[in-house]
Amino acid sequence: MTRKYFGTDGIRGTVGEKPITPDFVLRLGYAAGKVLATGKGKGKERPGVLIGKDTRVSGYMMESALEAGLSSAGVDVLLVGPMPTPAVAYLTRALRLSAGIVISASHNPHEDNGIKFFSGDGAKLPDAVERAIERELDKPLRCMSSSRLGKARRIDDAAGRYIEFCKTTFPSHLHLRGMRIVVDCANGASYHVAPPVFHELGADVETIGTEPDGFNINALVGATAPQALQAAVRRHKADLGIGLDGDGDRLVMVDADGRLYDGDQLLYVIARHRKEERRLSGGVVGTQMTNLALEHALGKLKVPFARANVGDRYVLEMLLKRRWQLGGENSGHIVCLDKHTTGDGIISALQVLCALSERRTTLAKAAAPVKLYPQVLVNVRVAQRERVLAASGVRRAVAAAHTALDGKGRVLLRLSGTEPVVRVMVEGRNGTAVKRWADSIASAVRNAS
């Protein structure tokens, strides 16, 4: 069964357009309640579902619609307000609830919003459960009788709980005293929790992107717009900069010279430290978009490496399948399964800081072995995506690029999980050649559409 609404990271779209409308979200809440909360929650008279959101103005509308849908299905609702996606995963597990729901479009602008789910164990839902929710959406909404309706209440100490949890993932014998750190929260869900974590561990913290107004989430700040963080690090003469995205599950970092480090480089720093400390369980999982330089650098450390499909949920699935603990994406989603059940920007930053502190080194030196290959990504909007990939002209262009790269680069064509787009990626050691082949393949895709 092909999924109608769920993409690679929940359901997402433009607010006011299907499926991000009040009536759909109401029905989604009801359908999710019926599927996720079948039977009783852990230790609860009724199933319980936690709802968190980022700082978009549309979150108010969607929160109310979800609450109504879940309640009508006989599910109790716990509301935590603006809270990072990984905080919802943690709180769902800590409170022994049936499921957690995040209202967020992650790194997208405020015009978009979305909904993603966590199981009671704090993990993202498998495809089969998402398909079950979609099947339930096709059925009529049948409200429970008054005596069986769910109740709603707010959890007032949610932020404090999550802050303390993040701090426990940093070794107790270490501290951040003497460090000046700039934290960029993207005017998103981490604005009130990320700065206290680093401050309470001893750092001198400067902040940007901590004044959300409902419309400025990810606007010229955050992990997807790191120029503001780079400028702030230089302005404050800081030792490091930490950049999160709107829902707090992505991480980029900036060193004292203003150099930017992406998820591949940060993942290497964590992996190398664990390898040296003999704490690396198995290998490392990346994705089809992971830079080849990371794979080569890990190979020199004799660390096994595997590629999953794009999306942190698929990284997690491969980690569980192989019984490994560390994986991530170049976009900054980093999963440390010995610390959390999902990717967490704050916790990932703490793992990098732990490596730098214990090895008494700088971010520049720790990440130096990963000399990123030039990588060009072109998004081509098409009507018939599957047909385009099978077109002879596209196959010839890809074959020509493979021949020219001669094993010293990669070519990847993949379908977007959320848009009518084919993503063309080419990487290799020669930046000029990489761009030329990416443009050539993208042109072939356009001609075939």
- CA dist 335 to 88, 159, 166, 311, 418, Å? 15, 21, 14, 11, 22
Could you tell me which residues are beta bridge partners of residue 79?
Answer: 51, 154
Could you tell me which residues are beta bridge partners of residue 423?
Answer: 379, 414
Residues 249 and 336: beta-carbon distance below 8 Å: no
Active site residue 119: no
Residues 72 and 85: beta-carbon distance below 8 Å: no
Instruction: Count other C-beta atoms under 10 Å from residue 292's C-beta.
Output: 18
Give 336's DSSP letter.
Answer: E
Instruction: Count other C-beta atoms under 10 Å from residue 396's C-beta.
Output: 13
Q: Could you say which of 72, 106, 331, 440 is catalytic?
A: 106
Q: Which helix (H) or strand (E) holds 398?
A: helix 392-405
Residues 93 and 122: beta-carbon distance below 8 Å: yes
DSSP string covering 301-370: TT--EEEEPSSHHHHHHHHHHHT--EEE-TTSBEEETTT-SS--HHHHHHHHHHHHHHHT--HHHHHTT-
Residues 74 and 46: beta-carbon distance below 8 Å: yes
Q: Which helix (H) or strand (E) holds 31?
A: helix 22-36
Give the catalytic positions in this structure. 106
